[in-house]
Amino acid sequence: MAYLIDEHKLEKIYLKSYHTIGRYKFNVDTLIDQPGVSRHHAIIELAQGKWLIRDVSTNGIWINDKKVDKNLPYQLCENDKIDFAAHGQNSYVVANLSDDCQYLVSQTHSSQVIEVKDQILLPNSDDPSHIIYFDSVLNYWFLEDLTNNDRQALIDGGLVSAFNDQWLFYSASTAAMTKHLDNQPTVKPCGLTFSVSQDEESTQLSVELNNESFDLGTRTHHYLMLLLARTRIQDKHAGMELDEQGWLYREELVKALGVQMNHMNIMVHRARKQLSDAGGESNPELAYLLETNNGRVRLNSQDITIIKGSKLETRITI
């Protein structure tokens, strides 16, 4: 995580990817309420993997005891000392300049920080109530409540509510957020092959996409996908319209799997993450083989093969 240290208060100042500093209480990210400090004094921003600072003030800034030119970007380095408005005053030290980090900072206890590098279960992996994950297709980080499926998009500098507290989200990332949250991308035609043991205790899955085969191994969440595949096949045989085939309410999945709601939701996320990783940069939308809509989930695959034990259970094209 990227942050400065206030030499006077010995506090960490976490940096957004575009971070403003000054004396204007209601319109800067870091307030320095001292004489000589301008309402908008400096801008620190992440650009092409480098942290830059610009002086936009009246009285200037000093880096390592040298005054910098106004309105020109200056590349920061760790251990740099920054003085605002006067040499040797209002001093901060550059402690960390990570260029790929996300974290939540409690607004009640500023020392309580949750660093996010990948999908993370909260408050812990043994008894989670929430999950934070990155959607590589929509290009957003999300915080999702595993008990009711409510999810909040995490925006750099935005506030979210969780664990009876308010949290400020910081994201040092240059990724543009260009996709609409309500749109789920179209998945390229692909085939799924399930190999489930006779007692249905283990389920292996492979994916065929663009004439490539991806062996996803044996995972517990593959059984969830198998249940969805069977539902889709049953609905097709029953003559249901294509748009209505295969949907199961989350409560139905919970009952069929014999698990708690939050456990089932974790399985959905793990399945999506594995599919996204398998698709890589060329096919990140593979995660959307699992579609969700108004509390329902379904499998969006055109070709499904199910082998139980050593025998073919079914093979179908949707």
273 backbone dihedrals φ, ψ, rounded to 5°: -65, -40
Q: What does the pLDDT look like over 3-55, one tens digit per residue?
A: 999 999 999 999 988 899 999 887 788 999 999 999 999 999 888 889 999 99
Checking if the pLDDT of 181 tops 60, the result is no
284: which DSSP letter?
G
Mean pLDDT of 246-252: 88
pLDDT at position 137: 66
Q: From the centroid of its chain, how far is CA 312?
A: 38
Provide the H-helix boundaries in 197-240. 221-237
Give the per-residue pLDDT at 27. 79
Q: Return the structure tokens found at 146.
A: 């595993």
Fold annotation for 101-172: Tumour Suppressor Smad4 (2.60.200)
**Are 17 and 108 a contacting pair, CB within 8 Å?**
no
Distance CA 306, CA 196 (A): 8
Q: Which CATH number is 3-96's, of 3.40.50.300, 3.30.365.10, 1.20.58.100, 2.60.200.20?
A: 2.60.200.20
* Eight-state DSSP code of residue 220: T
Average pLDDT of the residues in 56-73: 95
What pLDDT sits at residue 178? 33
Give yes or no for a cis peptide into 73 (omega within 30° of 0): no
* pLDDT interval class at 283 (50, 70, 90): confident
- Which amino acid belongs to residue 287? A
Token reading at 114: 């949750």
Label residue 313 by pLDDT band (50, 70, 90): very high
Classify strands 303-308 and 190-196 as parallel, antiparallel or unpaired: parallel
The answer to whether the beta carbons of residues 221 and 268 sit under 8 Å apart is yes
**Summary mean pLDDT of the chain:** 87
Q: Between the CA of residue 291 and those of 4, 263, 271, 312, what are the distances in Å?
A: 42, 18, 11, 26
| pLDDT band at residue 299 under the 50/70/90 scheme | very high
The number of CA neighbours under 13 Å toward the Cβ of 198 is 3
How far is 149 from 28, CA to CA, in rounded Å? 34
Same fold, 3-96 and 101-172: yes
Calpha distance 311→243 (Å, rounded): 30
d(C-alpha 252, C-alpha 183), whole Å: 25
Within its chain, how far is the Cα of 216 from the centroid?
A: 22
- Calpha distance 76→284 (Å, rounded): 34
- What does the domain layout of the chain look like in residue ranges? 3-96, 101-172, 190-317
pLDDT (0 to 100) of residue 278 = 86
The residue with greater pLDDT, 223 or 294, is 223
Q: State pTM to two decimals.
A: 0.59
Task: Say whether 227 sits in a helix, a strand or coil.
Answer: helix
Q: How confident is the model at residue 184 (pLDDT cuts 50, 70, 90)?
A: low
Are 107 and 157 in contact, with CB atoms under 8 Å apart?
no
